[in-house]
Copies of this chain bind each other. A is one copy, B any other.
């Protein structure tokens, strides 16, 4: 464990490595979580003029809301009425509908857009970002294909040629928006071309930490990305158990087994990732806890267990055509595990996959967790 597990940086003290001019910070994305993060950042850029330029730009995908342009509403009323109604934003946060204009002078770019829009945004930015710019991705997780597992932050890093960290944690957006106490984890290893004065853990701590939003900076991007993806499978397993009313012991057992399989998966596919990122970070065990007590994946599975309906049916009825990320992840991770012949080592992930997609009964879970997988391995064909 890290001995001093919470950085304590007092923003009033002198920074030895302070750069000549303050950092300019831009946020790409103004959905629900995007706007909450932008609010936090603008609060901090305003309070730390030695370190940051006060004016903080937030790229807004322009759309109409109640007959007005969303960016104009935000800049006039300082409220994102469409995606974060009722929450006042700092006046130094400026909505900018033009993507390139938003990032033009940025030294630090925060990415916070829906997963499915990331590639198109990368295409628009490609070749137009100074390689010394640093990035933080609030998208976490993995991009899994049959052949490879890639960190989402690597996608940004490789597309734009800029160093990119990750922010993740037990961060239900509305609670953070209302300034209720929360914690988060930022993973940011120093870049190879780091020089004093550059973005470092202290700068990032100062940019994100609030009295109500506590930040811990670590280096392990892979660890928190794996946790961010796999937690959704575990939330499904816990949802099953909740739907069958097996009780708190069983829920705790599933979370524990899920945590262990997460760690095992992380260590197998990203050998440098650290066990403590899973067991001691907000982006690990704490986010697992919040994800397993509510949310879309949990609810889908709970309803499956209660009604006996298939994942597909419940998804259609319950989620209004939206998809539960955990379903996609369960399938992707199954493929990866199966291709490598690792099924026996991940009985929770594999059984969850089978319940979701092959009609296997939930009641088999405890039995499968006894590691008798090899005896009972079914003949499924995908």
Residues of A within 8 A of B (CB): 1, 3-6, 8, 169-172, 175-176, 180-183, 211-212, 214, 241, 246-253, 255-257, 259-260, 263-264, 267, 275, 279-282, 285-287, 289-290, 293-294, 365-367, 369-372
Contacts and interface: CB of A to CB of B under 8 A. Distances in A.
A250 B172 CA distance: 10
A230 to B, nearest CB: 15
Contacts of A182: 249-250, 253
A214 B252 contact: no
Nearest to A275: B1
B246 A181 contact: yes
Nearest to A373: B8
A120 to B, nearest CB: 31
A120 B3 CA distance: 41
A123 B257 CA distance: 41
A279 B282 contact: no
B247 A172 contact: yes
Contacts of A253: 170, 181-183, 214, 282, 286
A257 B6 CA distance: 10
Contacts of A214: 253, 366, 369-370
B212 A366 contact: yes
Contact of A247 (B175, B183, B286, B370): B175
B6 A369 contact: yes
A280 B260 contact: yes
A236 to B, nearest CB: 16
A127 B39 CA distance: 69
Given A171-B249, A285-B285, 7 more contacts: A6-B370, A175-B246, A181-B365, A182-B249, A182-B250, A255-B289, A279-B279
14 contacts: A3-B264, A170-B249, A175-B249, A176-B249, A181-B253, A183-B253, A183-B257, A211-B366, A214-B369, A255-B285, A256-B286, A260-B280, A275-B279, A289-B289
B175 A260 contact: no
A180 B250 contact: yes
A241 B212 CA distance: 13
